[in-house]
Amino acid sequence: MKYIAQRYNQGIQQYYSVVMDLKTVYDNSKVLIYNQDDYGYQRPLDEKHVKKIKNNIISGNGLFPTSIILSVNSNEVKEIISDVEFEDIAIKNVVSINLQGASKRDDYCYFRIVDGQHRLEGLAEAAKIKNELWDYKLSIIILVIPNESRVIELDVFNDINSTPKKLKTDLVILAKQKYILLGQKDIQSKEDMEEYLAIKIAHILNEEIKGSVWENAIKFEKEINSQIGIIGIAAYKKAILPLVKKIIHDEGGKVISIQNLDDKALDLADYFNQAWQKVYEKWESCFKVQSIIIESEKYDFYYDNSYYLQKTTGVNAVFQLLNQSENIEEFEKIINKSPLTEEDWLKGGKLSGLTSGSGFKKAVMFIKNGKTI
C-alpha cells in the first residue's frame, strides 16, 4: 500500500503529514512501554479508556480530527519513502510512503506511537466488531528521529502530555535516565548531571538500601497504580535537588562520567539515609513497619500515610534542614532539639496545608522552634 505524504521541517526537525487507513497504521506501529521495551516511556493501556472509545465508535459518536503522532528512525526512512515524480521531475516536498511487505505489529514495526495509542486501540477493538472500520481514515504526523537522538521523541511526548492533559510524567523522568544509560542522551551540562544524580539517589534509597525508611516508599513505575509508595519520584527529586546542586557546586561543578556519578550517588544515598535515620529516631511513631504481597513478591516498607513526615511537606523540610547543616552531627542536634512531637506530624495537625515553597520554610521553622516566628 502506497500513500502520498507532505514533507516539511520545523527548524532541523523533519516531519511527514499523511492520511492513512486504520488497518495500515495499526499493523505498522507499536507503543514502547516503560520497563518492557529498551526505549520505553509510556504506561500500559488503560482498558477502561479503550473500551469507552470503542463503544463511542460503534454507536457512531466517535470523531478523531486531531492527528495520531508516530515516529520513525531516520536511517529507516529510505526503506519506505521515495520522491514523487511528474514527467521525471521530483515534486518538491511530496513523497510516497510504501509499506508493502512491512513487518506487522507482533514483530518489528517501522513506526512508534508517540500520541494516540488509546484512540488506535479503541478503533481497532471496534473494527473487530464492524470490519468496515479498518478503512477508517486518520490524520497522521510522522516525526523523523535521528538515531543518535532518540530523546527527542521522549521530549515530544512530554510536551504533548504533561501540561494540557495533566498526566503524570514520572515515567518520562525515569526514561530519560535510561536513555542516558543507553547512550541516547549525553551528560552535557551541570543540569543533566544534577538531574541524573537526584534520580539515581532516589532509586538507590527506594530499591537498594534495605531497611531504609525510603525502601519502597518512592513511587517509581511499578507503584504508580498499586498500593505501595507515599511520594512520587518527581516530587522527591524536586525536594532533594537543591541539596544535590549545593554538593556538586561545592565540589567544583565539573561534568563527570556516568560511572563517577553512579559512585557519587551511592555515597550521597548513604548520607541521606543516615540523616533520615536520625529523623526516624526522633519521631519513630511516624513510621510503621509493614509488608505487602504483590504478584507473589513481598515488599517491605516503613512509611505511614497518616503522617506528613514522608510526604511533600516533611520531605522538603527535612532536606532543607540537611542543606543548611554543615554535617550529620549538626543536623542531628537540630532534630533532637526540635519541640515538634509525633502528633504534630499527623494529618490535620500543626503542619497541615504547608505544601508550597513558603509552606516548606514554615515547616523548617516549626521543626527548629515549634512555631513560625
Contact 184, 193 (CB under 8 A): no
Buried residues in 123-143 as b, exposed as e (16+ CB within 10 A): bbbbbeeeeebbebebebbbb
Contact 186, 180 (CB under 8 A): yes
271 part of a folded domain: yes
pLDDT in tens, 128-173: 999 999 999 999 999 988 876 777 787 787 777 655 444 455 566 6
The per-residue pLDDT for 311 is 93
Query: How many other C-beta atoms can be found within 10 angstroms of the C-beta atom of residue 162?
Result: 13
The per-residue pLDDT for 225 is 43
C-alpha span between 130 and 123 (Å, rounded): 10
Length of the chain: 373
177 part of a folded domain: no
Torsion of CA 227, 230, 235, 236, to 10 degrees: -120
pLDDT in tens, 331-369: 999 999 999 999 999 988 888 888 888 999 999 999 998
Q: Name the residue among 68, 88, 100 with its Cα closest to residue 2.
A: 100
Alpha carbon separation from 179 to 70, 172, 196, 322 (Å, rounded): 19, 10, 11, 31
The per-residue pLDDT for 285 is 94
19 beta partners: 139
C-alpha span between 76 and 4 (Å, rounded): 18
Same domain membership, residue 260 and residue 203: yes
For residue 310 the three cell numbers come to 514522608
The per-residue pLDDT for 223 is 41
Contact 84, 6 (CB under 8 A): no
Q: What is the pLDDT along the chain (373 residues), one digit of tens a residue?
A: 788 999 999 888 889 999 999 999 998 898 888 777 777 878 788 888 899 999 989 888 777 888 999 998 888 887 888 888 776 666 788 888 888 755 555 456 778 898 999 999 999 999 999 999 999 999 999 998 887 677 778 778 777 765 544 445 556 666 666 666 555 565 667 787 888 889 889 989 998 899 899 999 998 754 444 568 899 888 999 999 999 998 888 777 666 666 777 888 899 999 999 999 999 999 999 999 888 877 667 888 999 999 999 999 999 999 999 999 999 999 999 999 999 999 999 988 888 888 888 999 999 999 998 776 5
173 part of a folded domain: no
The per-residue pLDDT for 12 is 85
Same domain membership, residue 142 and residue 90: yes
98 part of a folded domain: yes
Question: Residue 57 belongs to what domain range?
Answer: 2-168
264 part of a folded domain: yes
Same domain membership, residue 138 and residue 33: yes
* Total domains in the fold of the chain: 2
pLDDT in tens, 80-94: 888 887 766 667 888
Same domain membership, residue 230 and residue 127: no
Same domain membership, residue 277 and residue 199: yes
The per-residue pLDDT for 88 is 65
Same domain membership, residue 222 and residue 153: no
Task: Say what the pTM is.
Answer: 0.59
